[in-house]
A and B are shown apart, each in its own frame.
Chain A
Amino acid sequence: MTRTLGRSARRAAVPLTAALAVVSLAGCASGAESAATPGADVAQDIVFALKEDVVCLDPQQTSVTTSLNVGRQLTDSLLDQDPDTGEIVPWLAESWDVADDLTSYSFTLQDGVTFSDGTPLTSEVVAANFDAIIEMGAAASLANGYLAGYAGTEVTSDSEFTVLFAEPNVQFLQGATTMSLGLLSAETVAGAAEDRCQSLVGTGPFVLESYVPNDAVTIVKRDGYDWASELRGHQGEAYLDTVTFPIIAEASVRTGGLQSGEYDVIQDVPYIDEARFAGDDYILYAKANPGVPNSFVVNTTKGVLGDEAVRQAISKSLDRDEINVITGSVSGKAPAGVLTSSTPGYLDLGDTLAFDPEGAADLLEGAGWTLGSDGIYEKDGQKLTVTVTAFYAQDVLEAAQIQLKNAGIDLQIKMVAAGDFFGAVASGDYELLGAGLTRTDPDALRTLLSVDSAARWGIVDDPELEALLQEQAQTADVAERQKLVDQIQEIVGERAYVMPTLETVQLHGSRAGVEGITFDSAARVHLYDAMVTSD
């Protein structure tokens, strides 16, 4: 049911995006099997400018988009997920079986899959991969999250194995489609975590040729690759022979280089440059990050945020459409739920999250706040001031700050380095956090809000919500789980534990002669179907 909602929401975005020649956001159902063919007599080599150093290539360790955009080409996963429907389909595993209590997952591997060093993919190697992830601990935190409660992998035969968990793990199946659980060769996983960051061997359609930190990554086509998932546009080897990823930190250099032809594809087109590349000479690729959109995540134990009326008033005072226009991508849209519209299981909470300044004023006045002479509400001599701690997207916070000021709420912005952000999370020393959480499953809300979660950002004392978060994580039945997930989204939105501000869109651009770039369910790039059609 929610699936339908999600799809209709996406359909609503079609006219807007089509006008801008934006592929993919609309799902682009036929896009993957486009009529395009690689140009004859054109070198199938592209230059894809990245916005930052990949730092670590190992997709099991890193969870930074830039690194994963490279890592995805080198590694395959057990399963794949349709980004439009959320449906899970076979990839390296041809079949799988989930125990009703979500504590064991059995897989059967496809025949004939090999790593680029020639060794075969076996159950033993898969087990070694998962064991190594547990071993790496905090160095591989996202992958560890997907393996929460891991109790070992039971190898039945060369191609059959069962992954066991001590407690129900609802996100594992979906996790198995991400490259965080992508599979690496036995030799790679036996190596030290640091070495794996520099060099790795996977089963992917491309092979790492070189990585020079702060300079460039080069990958080449894997000869004999023949195990693409059914979601890809073709089978067999990749079209491209080589992809060079120079690391171009300066955005204006990336956009200038795309215009001058120095780069064929660039990562992260700044939203303000979107119009520049809207013509026929370029293709823009946009995809909203799945998971929790960029939001205010509350700590109800601090300041005035324990008061539900205050939280709701803040949420109602945010004009999300305006924030999107000011700071967002033309291809994106304002968040209308506590999950992004690209997340499977998304529920539209448009009414709850509607801009409603009168409603906000009523709530505050009802709770005993009075408007002070400086235009800020106060109660018992206390100003209605909240502080948000964040390490990116300052423009979003500033837009929200102006809107809240108009509503009589004083928002203080505290921009910190990433490390200090997580330092604040670790110590619980914050009122609001301003950030988003990229995950491809509604379980993202449990990660964010549950008392038990290792990556807990929101501090709320709500037994009803907690019970629901736990229950959905142990429910195997899809329809049953969806009901729980819907309830969770309603509660989180209505009680304003998470106040979405902006759906972050991954926006990439290419010249018109390069086609076929697609996104996986986590909004990371697939270059397997990419090709050069003309110079």
Chain B
Amino acid sequence: MSTQRVDPARTRSTLMSVARFLLPKIAQCIFVVWATYTVAFLLIHALPGDPVLAALSLKGGDATSTDPAQLEALRARYGMSGPLWEQYISNFLALFRGDLGTSIATGQPVTDMVGRAFPLTAAVAVFALVVGFVSALAFTVWAYVARPAWVRNVVTQIPPLGIAIPAFLSGIVLISVFAFGLGWFPASGTNGFVSVVLPGITLALPTGAIFFQVFSAAVFDAGASPFVFTANAKGLAQRTVVVRHVLRNALLPSITIIGLQIGYLAGGTAVVETVFSRDGIGRLTVDAVLARDVNVVMGVVIVVATVYAVVTLIVDALYGVIDPRTRTRLTGRKAVSA
């Protein structure tokens, strides 16, 4: 019942140290987004060819007009006239209003297009992440407890297949079997959870394989460490040893890898979305690149970079919460000793 007295000075100092820990990371996060934007802008504008003409040909087919006066008028309309630095600055400032410009190919606001596609990609990515994580965990435990050694070796050889088989192929196989053969899931479209399953599994294969590599390395490391030896010597049940000592120690590196995986998934959905004919960020990007729709490409780059930077920030922060050693750095020695 006795409410612990909060020392205001200590709270303030804790806040200060949290800020000292987080502020540079937030600054770093913003820098990453800005740098990505700048590099992407320069790269896109360094490419030869005329983006307006390219986008026009998407609609015009063999009748695409090459009349310079008409092209100039369209260029002005899509904010692509004037010197490069002017475009750079005005487009960058527009970002802070949440304005990503207008797609040259479709004439739609890029914000709308990305907003439409993003949740669809996120659904597949989250599904893939969860399935990949859980199955990698399952395989790791299986490999750890498997006896004799040759069974363990076989088990550890299975997950890497997930990354060895191209997503294109595994996607087609899944469609043939589960959509066309058994009819359990749709082969295409974005209608509800069922449409997420097959593309999600396709992406979960490489995701899970990477998780497994990190997990298993950490688990086998932990398994060979003195504290597990001690636990075993104390006669603790195998399950207790695995769950309480081995897995817990293996989780930390996998948190780091989640950040990378999300970065990969945000950009890596293009193939899966094409095979499964799903609308999403990946498909949007492919279409935009083919059409040289620079405004959409820039919009996607910004959104993906932001997601990646924010996830990295969260992972960094989580690290401090999970690992007492980094927490020392986070809040100062006093907080730990308290």
Taking Cβ atoms with an 8 Å cutoff, the residues of A that contact B are 53, 55-56, 61-65, 67, 137-139, 141-142, 144-145, 192-195, 197-198, 212-216, 246-250, 252-253, 256-257, 259-260, 262, 417-423, 425-426, 435-438, 454-455
Contact = CB atoms under 8 A, between A and B. Distances in A.
26 contacts: A56-B106, A61-B59, A63-B60, A63-B62, A138-B56, A138-B60, A141-B63, A145-B63, A192-B107, A194-B107, A213-B106, A213-B108, A246-B189, A246-B277, A248-B277, A250-B274, A252-B172, A256-B187, A257-B179, A417-B49, A417-B54, A419-B49, A419-B54, A419-B55, A420-B48, A436-B62
B95 interface: no
Contacts, number: 169
Given A422-B66, A425-B66, 12 more contacts: A53-B287, A63-B62, A64-B58, A138-B70, A194-B106, A194-B108, A248-B277, A249-B277, A253-B276, A262-B186, A423-B53, A454-B67
B54 A215 contact: no
Contacts of A250: 172, 274-275, 277
Interface of B: 48-51, 53-68, 70-71, 73-74, 102, 105-108, 113, 116-117, 172, 175-176, 179-181, 183, 186-190, 274-280, 283-284, 287, 290-292
A252 B174 CA distance: 13
A250 B187 CA distance: 11
Contacts of A422: 53-54, 56-57, 60, 64, 66
A247 B275 CA distance: 11
Nearest to A448: B62
Most buried by B among A56, A249, A435, A455: A249
Contacts of B57: 418-419, 421-422
B189 A419 contact: no
B116 A426 contact: no
Contact of B53 (A63, A65, A246, A426): A426
A423 B193 CA distance: 43
Given A197-B107, A215-B279, A249-B277, A419 B187 contact: no
Contacts of A141: 56, 60, 63-65
B59 A62 contact: yes
Given A64-B58, A138-B71, A215-B189, A253 B277 contact: yes
Contact of A438 (B62, B107, B180, B186): B62
Contacts of A252: 172
Given A214-B287, A253-B277, A63 B54 contact: no
Contact of B66 (A67, A145, A426): A426
Given A63-B61, A262-B179, A423-B49, A248 B70 contact: no
Q: Nearest 10 A-B pairs (CB), nearest first?
A: A419-B54, A194-B107, A138-B70, A142-B63, A426-B66, A141-B65, A260-B180, A214-B279, A418-B57, A138-B65
